[in-house]
């Protein structure tokens, strides 16, 4: 049976908060972090549904919550067993030692938070609940995903119905698992140039990939890249896989 959040400071819906109401979803999110002894950062902890399950499993948890009322609830509920930090999760000072991340992300800051988290150097696995359309795009080859793909593997775990949350949002959510690659496909020193290249290709003009890419890669090199990596030059940037992106970047370089 679903469980309800502990005593609420208010019924008012603030800060785009939609709390996970379904214990099966909580369990699955925590299961995705199972097997790792690393501390866990619970971003936007809210009423503590995820925090509680993680503590029950023996994890060391830091709960970050901006709303002062919910931060007080977390302090009272967990005492010294959880470090509670009242802060905007986008401006929180992330740890320098390895850790994992879990978050039921407020819809209004999804893209900002994703960019913030992806820039952090120390976390290993992030389990993120986001708006369904965002989850679907991030699991495909959107510009943001392609820009970070050589360093992270992004998996769409499942679609989560709106009924799993209180207050009930107007749309479904999607559960993402993001893992840092054990061996990056490009060195960190290439990150800025690679990401600029991805943006240039996604925003470039031209008829299909061939028309766009020829602005960055000599035609013979482009044709060789397309042949060797089975690329349809009439396709679009979103059709490329991570390895095709890496090979294209190297061809342009």
Instruction: Determine the average pLDDT of the residues in 2-13.
Output: 44
- pLDDT greater than 90 at residue 4: no
Does 238 map to a domain?
Answer: yes
On whether both 63 and 166 belong to a single domain, the answer is yes
On whether both 175 and 53 belong to a single domain, the answer is yes
Q: What total of structural domains would you count in the chain? A: 2
Does 79 map to a domain?
Answer: yes
Domain holding 128, by residue range, is 19-180
On whether both 73 and 171 belong to a single domain, the answer is yes
Does 127 map to a domain?
Answer: yes
Give 130's strand partners. 174
- pLDDT greater than 80 at residue 3: no
Residues 228 and 206: their CA atoms lie apart, in Å, by 22
172 alpha carbon, distance to own chain's centre: 16
Q: Binning pLDDT at 50, 70 and 90, where does residue 2 land?
A: very low
On whether both 97 and 157 belong to a single domain, the answer is yes
Half-sphere CA count of 20, side-chain side, radius 13 A: 29
Three-class SS state of 12 = coil
220-244: per-residue pLDDT in tens? 999 999 999 999 999 999 999 999 9
Does 131 map to a domain?
Answer: yes
On whether both 29 and 130 belong to a single domain, the answer is yes
- pLDDT greater than 60 at residue 39: yes
On whether both 221 and 129 belong to a single domain, the answer is no
Q: Binning pLDDT at 50, 70 and 90, where does residue 81 land?
A: very high
Arithmetic mean of pLDDT over the chain: 93
- State percent of the chain over pLDDT 70: 94
Among the three residues 128, 163, 180, which one is the final residue of a domain in this structure? 180
Does 10 map to a domain?
Answer: no
pLDDT at 140 (0 to 100): 86
On whether both 245 and 161 belong to a single domain, the answer is no
71 alpha carbon, distance to own chain's centre: 23
On whether both 229 and 144 belong to a single domain, the answer is no
Residues 110 and 128: their CA atoms lie apart, in Å, by 10
Does 4 map to a domain?
Answer: no
Instruction: Determine the average pLDDT of the residues in 120-129.
Output: 98
On whether both 30 and 137 belong to a single domain, the answer is yes
On whether both 163 and 227 belong to a single domain, the answer is no
Separation in Å, CA 209 to CA 53, 81, 230 = 47, 53, 13
- Structure letter (DSSP) for residue 167: S
Provide the CATH number for the domain around residue 161.
3.40.50.150
Residues 163 and 165: their CA atoms lie apart, in Å, by 5
Provide the CATH number for the domain around residue 243.
1.10.8
Among the three residues 124, 147, 180, which one is the final residue of a domain in this structure? 180
On whether both 76 and 147 belong to a single domain, the answer is yes
On whether both 169 and 197 belong to a single domain, the answer is no
- pLDDT greater than 60 at residue 8: no
Among the three residues 159, 180, 201, which one is the final residue of a domain in this structure? 180
Does 164 map to a domain?
Answer: yes
pLDDT at 16 (0 to 100): 63
Does 89 map to a domain?
Answer: yes
């Amino acid at each position: 049976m679903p469980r309800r959040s502990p005593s609420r400071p208010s019924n008012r819906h603030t800060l785009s908060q939609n709390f996970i109401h379904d214990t099966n979803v909580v369990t699955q999110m925590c299961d995705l972090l199972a097997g790792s002894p690393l501390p866990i950062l619970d971003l936007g902890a809210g009423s503590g549904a995820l925090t509680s399950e993680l503590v029950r499993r023996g994890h060391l948890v830091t709960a970050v919550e901006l709303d002062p009322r919910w931060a007080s609830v977390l302090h009272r509920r967990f005492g010294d067993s959880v470090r509670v930090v009242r802060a905007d999760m986008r401006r929180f000072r992330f740890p320098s030692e390895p850790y994992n991340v879990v978050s039921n992300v407020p819809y209004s800051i999804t893209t900002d938070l994703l960019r913030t988290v992806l820039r952090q150097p120390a976390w290993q696995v992030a389990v993120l609940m986001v708006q369904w359309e965002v989850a679907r795009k991030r699991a495909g080859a959107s510009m943001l995903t392609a820009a970070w793909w050589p360093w992270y593997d992004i998996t769409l775990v499942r679609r989560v119905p709106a009924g799993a949350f209180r207050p009930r949002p107007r749309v479904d959510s999607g559960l993402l698992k993001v893992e840092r690659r054990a061996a990056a496909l490009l060195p960190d020193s290439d990150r800025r140039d690679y990401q600029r290249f991805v943006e240039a290709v996604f925003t470039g003009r031209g008829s299909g990939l061939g028309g766009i890419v020829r602005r960055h890669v000599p035609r013979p090199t482009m044709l060789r890249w397309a042949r060797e990596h089975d690329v349809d030059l009439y396709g679009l940037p979103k059709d490329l896989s991570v390895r095709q992106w890496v090979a294209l970047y190297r061809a342009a370089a």
